[in-house]
Amino acid sequence: MAELRVCATGDVPESSARRFDIEGHRLCVVHLPSSDSVGAWYVIGDECSHADYSLAEGDLWPEDCAIECPQHGSTFSLATGEPRSFPATRPVPTYSVQIDGDNVMVVLP
Residue 98, CA distances (Å) to 22, 55, 64, 82 in order: 16, 21, 21, 21
Choose the binding region for ligand FES from 15-23, 31-39, 64-72, 92-100 (rule: CB under 6 A): 64-72
Instruction: Please state the separation of Cα 28 from the chain's center in Å.
Output: 4
Closest distance between ligand FES and the C-beta of residue 27, in Å? 17
Question: Of 72, 81, 84, 94, which one interacts with ligand FES (CB under 6 A)?
Answer: 72
Question: What is the rounded distance in angstroms from the CA atom of residue 75 to the CA atom of residue 68?
Answer: 4
* Contact flag: residue 75 with ligand FES (CB under 6 A): no
Question: What is the rounded distance in angstroms from the CA atom of residue 66 to the CA atom of residue 81?
Answer: 9
Closest distance between ligand FES and the C-beta of residue 86, in Å? 8
Q: Which residues bind ligand FES (CB under 6 A)?
A: 48, 50-51, 53, 69, 71-72, 74, 87-88
